Amino acid sequence: MPRRFDLIRWAPPLTATFFLFLFYWRGLDCWFFQDDFGWLHLGPAKSFQDFLHILFAPKAHGNIRPWSENLFFYGLKALFGVNPLPFRIVVFATMAANLFVLDAVMRRLTSSAAASLAAQLCWLANPAVAAVLCWTCIYNQAQYVFFILLPLLLLMQGRYLAQAIVFALGLGSLELVVMYPAIAALYVLLYERDKLRRTLPLFAISATFTVLHFWVAPAPHSGPYALQFDTRIVKTLAAYTQMVLGPERLMHFQWNWPSWLLPAGTALMVLGVLAALYASRRAGLLGLGIYLFLLAPVLPLPDHIMDYLLTGPSLGLAIILGAALATSWRKFVVTLCVFYLAVCLPASWQVVTWNHARSHISRDLVLGVINYSRAHPGKFLLLTGMDTDQFVAGFGDLPFEVHGMFNVLLAPGAEQNIHDAAGIAPLYVMKPEKSFPLLAAGQAVVLDVAGGRVRDATAEYMREKGLP
């Protein structure tokens, strides 16, 4: 009997975890691409002091994320090499852990297994979450959610010291965790107002971290990561809100559908969520707070609107929908959730399809060149026939150097087919005055990588260039 009871108790997160693997299984097969290679360059550490520097020193864009980026990439690469599967398994395991903690939170908010399951499924179905399950370098989005949910659960259980410790550790996952004290304060205002003072140390920790972070890594004053506190914040909030509701993401892939479907679908979702918010009362307000608080830090970045930044905020929307299911509005909310899932799941499937294909473009290019190099060592490899997608996904972030290969460049003229936004392709070209003598001396070969197939095109290239 106890075993049966336990199975029933854990049925919602087990079901959601099953859905996670059933729907997103292709995410386990995603290879490294784009920014992933930048993080794979970490290490090896030559000393313990060097290891600490790798772990805690500010990295790209001044971020200090020892757990979700530095340790994640450095540790798994040290253990398993440049093998994407262990990385993907950790991502999925973290998401599964998030589901179990979300289940415990929803049970305390609603005492309803159905509400808990609905919240988990609605969160997983969101297209913003789909991106996290495909692209390894944004693992921080999956991990920081754990450091939001677990302290909240510990707060609900009255374990205040444990909550503070987990929250403090979470600051090393992603900067957005600084908003947790606001979530904690909102919860106690809604449910345990007399314990508001217990959240004050959390605000002190958050403020100290924020000051230290900006002191160690000052915010940039230009570029897409420069903070812009102006009226564009409202437009950015509107853009993210439209994205999180689902219809905009679906229409992003179905651009040939009638344009009126986007405003109509978005309006229906807005009205439905407002009704669910009214029905769910306190739990709904907590969900709204989670959405707004976790979104607030990225609103001053109007030039860096990214779907995956909604991974945490979309959790708030899922809580609203799930909590409403535990009220007398159940029939209406079931209809709303069905509509939401009908919109989001096809969009999420397309997100996975796009990312999976992009990762395999990278895989075919990188492994194809590596295999050729191993079979024909000791030569410079000059690539031609490369298109923009291949360059952006599998070449621009120096993937071959991760494998200890510093002899791979673009052949002169290969940059003409590449139109990357940054315009950096010409920087990867070996100049004719260096490459042509190497080709003539047999010390270099030209590899045609068009379509992901790597073949020796040295003779053709030399004839084209009039080389002997």
* DSSP letter string, 170-211: HTTT-GGGGGHHHHHHHHHHHH-GGGGGGGHHHHHHHHHHHH
CB of 23 within 8 A of CB of 124? yes
Q: Does residue 20 have a pLDDT over 70?
A: yes
Same domain, 439 and 329: no
CB neighbour list of residue 278: distance below 8 Å, 6 or more residues apart? 284
CB neighbour list of residue 78: distance below 8 Å, 6 or more residues apart? 43, 44
Residue 222 domain-assigned? yes
Same domain, 336 and 459: no
Same domain, 11 and 115: yes
pLDDT tens-digit series, residues 27-73 = 999 999 999 999 999 988 999 999 999 999 888 777 889 999 999 99
Same domain, 81 and 164: yes
Same domain, 166 and 217: yes
Residue 429, helix vs strand vs coil = strand
Tell me the sheet residues that pair with 429. 410
Residue 364 domain-assigned? no
- Give the range of the structural domain holding residue 461, as residue numbers without chain letter: 376-465
Same domain, 333 and 460: no
The C-alpha atoms of residue 81 and residue 85 are separated, in whole angstroms, by 10
Same domain, 15 and 130: yes
Last residue of a domain, one of 356, 385, 413: 356
Residue 39 domain-assigned? yes
The C-alpha atoms of residue 384 and residue 461 are separated, in whole angstroms, by 9
The arithmetic mean of pLDDT across residues 352-364, rounded, is: 97
Residue 365 domain-assigned? no
Nearest CA-CA partner of 314 in 220, 240, 229: 240
pLDDT tens-digit series, residues 222-278 = 778 888 889 999 999 999 999 999 999 999 888 788 999 999 999 999 999 999 999
The arithmetic mean of pLDDT across residues 172-195, rounded, is: 96
The arithmetic mean of pLDDT across residues 308-328, rounded, is: 97
Q: Does residue 430 have a pLDDT over 50?
A: yes
pLDDT tens-digit series, residues 87-138 = 999 999 999 999 999 999 999 999 999 999 999 999 999 999 999 999 999 9
Same domain, 328 and 380: no
Same domain, 351 and 381: no
The C-alpha atoms of residue 10 and residue 17 are separated, in whole angstroms, by 11
User: Across 324-373, where does the E strand assignment appear?
Assistant: none
Residue 126 domain-assigned? yes
Q: Does residue 214 have a pLDDT over 70?
A: yes
pLDDT at 3: 53
4 band by pLDDT with thresholds 50, 70 and 90? low
Last residue of a domain, one of 302, 324, 356: 356
52-60 long-range CB contacts below 8 Å, 24 or more apart? 58/216, 58/217, 60/35
Residue 369 domain-assigned? no
pLDDT tens-digit series, residues 333-357 = 999 999 999 999 999 999 999 999 9
Same domain, 420 and 327: no
Side-chain-facing half-sphere of 233: CA atoms under 13 Å = 13
User: What's the structural domain count of the chain?
Assistant: 2
The arithmetic mean of pLDDT across residues 441-452, rounded, is: 95
468 band by pLDDT with thresholds 50, 70 and 90? confident
pLDDT tens-digit series, residues 73-86 = 999 999 999 999 99
The C-alpha atoms of residue 269 and residue 264 are separated, in whole angstroms, by 9
Q: Please state, for a pLDDT cut of 70, what percent of the chain lies above it.
A: 99
Side-chain-facing half-sphere of 377: CA atoms under 13 Å = 3
Residue 100: both structure tokens together: 């179990």
Residue 33 domain-assigned? yes
pLDDT at 49: 93
Same domain, 339 and 386: no
Same domain, 332 and 388: no
Residue 48 domain-assigned? yes
